[in-house]
Amino acid sequence: VSVGGFVWMLTLLGARVTLCRETPDDFVTQWKSECHFLNGTERVRYVARWSYNQQQFLHFDSDTGVFKADDLLGVPSAESLNSQKEVLEQERAAVDTFCRHNYGILEDFMQRRRVKPKVKVSRSNNEDPNKPHMLICNVNGFYPYAITVHWYKNGQKDPGVLSSELLQNGDWTGQVMVMLETSINPGDTFVCEVLHVSLDEPLRRNWDSEESESAKSKKLTGIIGLVLGGLFFTVGGVMYWKNKKGRPQFHLQPEGVNFMG
């Protein structure tokens, strides 16, 4: 944020206060600058927006080169700023001094940055046997954002997929979910394939119906066995201690005899 921008914000705020006559105890002013790039820096557009209590009242667009009011209260501010030649020249120059300048600093880092995706395959719960199953391929933590995800059923690419919108994480990586709605029969195999510039070769994650059911069965058997084993151990321990208390105890030394004399 430049000193000039701060001064303009005070000027704009003053104009609104003058028009409103009353200033609330709590208020929020915001100044936001945007740079829009097309084909690198071949085509650059600079946009600045001014808001008061989350309502935009004024903006500057380098495509028009002037300030424009977004509501009636922004009209005096637009007229005042457009009459100042120095202010207009500084805002118009922001395409180069702000946008292209910062692009040159970040370009090398952003173009070379590569983050490999993490892939997890799962099946959503479906209690209705008459409805098709939904397999989900969750791809997360990748950069750049361009990515391709395919589902294969029994070795054949399945075009019947649904994809979520690309979500941007707070660490400049992305995530996306690609879902396959399909019937699942014994022996069917499914593969989620991910293509990304950070990968030397396609990343594949398998989902096998028989393996998944077998794994669930083994897990359930193990849990039942553990519960039954613990139950038998507890009952056996109680019976052992109960019987032990009911029998005469073995003594290492006869009663009434003192060998120490």
Domains 3-112 and 118-212 share a fold: no
pLDDT at 23 over 90: no
Query: Can you give the residue ranges of every domain in the chain?
Result: 3-112, 118-212
> What is the fold, at CATH topology level, of the domain defined by 118-212?
Immunoglobulin-like (2.60.40)
Cα torsion 40, 41, 42, 48: sign: positive
Reduced DSSP (H G I as helix, E B as strand, rest coil) percent helix, strand, coil of the chain, to 5? 35, 30, 30
Highest mean pLDDT among 5-9, 99-103, 192-196: 192-196
AA identity, residue 239: M
- pLDDT grade, residue 131 (50/70/90)? confident
> What is the fold, at CATH topology level, of the domain defined by 3-112?
3.10.320
Contact 98, 35 (CB under 8 A): yes
Mean pLDDT of 41-51: 94
* Residue 67 burial (C-beta neighbours within 10 Å; 0-12, 13-18, 19+): buried
> Which residue did the predictor score with more confidence, 102 or 237?
102
Mean pLDDT of 39-44: 89
pLDDT at 246 over 70: no
* Residue 256 burial (C-beta neighbours within 10 Å; 0-12, 13-18, 19+): exposed
pLDDT digits (tens, 9 = 90+) for 191-225: 999 999 999 999 999 997 655 444 444 555 556 65
Nearest to 195 by CA among 233, 132, 152, 251: 152
Which residues, in sequence order, are CB contacts of 199 under 8 Å at separation 6+?
Answer: 116, 117
pLDDT at residue 66, as a whole number: 97
Question: pTM of the predicted model, to two decimals?
Answer: 0.52
Mean pLDDT of 76-93: 95
Mean pLDDT of 172-190: 92
Cα end-to-end distance, the chain, whole Å = 100
pLDDT at residue 69, as a whole number: 96
Which residues, in sequence order, are CB contacts of 133 under 8 Å at separation 6+?
Answer: 123, 124, 126, 181, 182, 183, 184
Mean pLDDT of 85-104: 94
pLDDT at 228 over 70: no
Mean of pLDDT over the chain: 80
Q: How far from the centroid of its chain's Cα atoms is residue 230's Cα? A: 42
> Which residue did the predictor score with more confidence, 84 or 236?
84
